[in-house]
Structure 1
């Protein structure tokens, strides 16, 4: 695994398109930070179909093209690909043609759940997506309140064919001890397959990918290579090696920070 060749599959780097970055200069600064953190390839994933933002596929593709030209003009060695962080809602299948996958063939889709709970219709949505040949990759499950309280819910989603992405700053501890413990437990249980930044131009929402890979290495020396390979395979639309999943430990209702 080359540390200056990392793939980041979840990043809010495009300017003035969602809550990630307000201006072009801010986005260029984020790009410099990404390169300094060992990242070479970024899937730009603006919010789509949540309560605040609607970023249609064609608009994202156009925005990536413009931003890539700015990166090249500023000699920033970063390659950007168009994607979306698609928010789970009941209109998803009606708008499936407006969804950008992690890969160009849309074998994989970055899917965000509501932060506080897991909707009851999620299983049906997973089935409908699978009928379209789409595998959902659940974004940052370690930060979902209901999944934190009932971690076996992620195990059930994995049994139904879902993959999941853990956030680098969660593993590093920027979201607190509870989220960090949950993130590590999901890694150990094989329930998350890839680490990504979910970077925004906000305090404590930077990249931290190198540190996250160090945490993975401390947990198991095989993890960094596995996670890096998984990220590349998802971006390319290739299959990733399945590993045995385990039921995560039921966690205490009250946490001591």
Structure 2
């Protein structure tokens, strides 16, 4: 794994398209920060089909092309690919043609759950996506309140065929001790297969990818290379490294007083 060659599969870097970056100037600064953090390839994943944003596939592709031209003009060594962070909703299957996969073949789809809970129809959506040849990659499960309270739920989703992505800032402790410990437990249990930044131009929402890979290395020397290979394989629509999964332990509550 080369630290200056990292792949980031979840990033809100495109200008004025969601809550990630308000302007081209800010997006270019994010790009410089990404390169400084060892990132070479970014899947741009603006929010799609949530309560606030609709970013159609063709619009994201146009935005990526325009932003790549700006990056090239500024000699920023970063390659951007078009994607979406697709918010789970009951009408998702009606809009499959307008969804961008993590890879161009749409073998993998970055899927965001509501932060507070897991809708009862998620299992059905996972099944229907699988019938279309699409594997959902659940974004930041370690930050979902219901999954934190009942980590076995993520195990059940992975058993059904889903994958999951842990956020770099979760792993390094930016979201607090409980989220960090949940993230580490999911890695140990084989329930998350890739780390990504979920970077926004907001306080405490930076990249932290190189730092996250350091945490992975501290957890076990096999993790950094596995996660780096998985990120590339997802982007290329290839199969991931197969490992055994196990049921995670629930983290105890962390109290401030």
- TM-score using structure 2 length: 0.99
Show structure 1 runs of 5+ residues with no match.
none
What's the offset of the Cα at 1:255? 1.8
Corresponding residue SS for 2:106: coil
Q: Determine the structure 1 residue equivalent to 2:236.
A: 236
Secondary structure (helix, strand or coil) at the match of 2:4 reads: coil
Which residue pairs with 1:137 in the alignment? 137
**1:172-194 alpha-carbon deviations (Å, 9 max, x no partner):** 00000010000000000000000
Which residue of structure 2 aligns with residue 215 of structure 1?
Answer: 215
Task: Provide the C-alpha distance between the structure 1 equivalents of 2:249 and 2:255, rounded to a whole number of angstroms.
Answer: 17
Q: Secondary structure at the match of 1:137?
A: strand
Superposed CA RMSD: 0.6
Conserved? CA contact 1:150–1:251, under 8 Å: no
Task: Give every structure 1 segment of 4 or more consecutive aligned residues whose post-TM-superposition deviation is greater than 4 Å.
Answer: none
Structure 2, unmatched stretches of 5+, are none
Number of residues of Structure 1 aligned to a counterpart in Structure 2: 256
Say which SS state the counterpart of residue 68 (structure 2) adopts. helix
TM-score, normalization by structure 1: 0.99
Q: What is the 5 A alignment of 1:14-29?
A: 14-29=14-29
Pairing 1:172-183 to 2, within 5 Å after superposition = 172-183=172-183
Tell me which residue corresponds to 2:64. 64
Q: Deviations over 1:209-231 (max 9, x none)?
A: 00000000000001000000000
Paired with 2:251 and 2:27, the residues of 1 have a C-alpha distance of 38
Alpha-carbon contact 1:136-1:162 (below 8 Å) kept? yes
Q: How far is 1:251 from its partner?
A: 2.9
CA offset digits 1:98-156 (Å, max 9, x no partner)? 00000000000000000000000000000000000000000000000000000000000
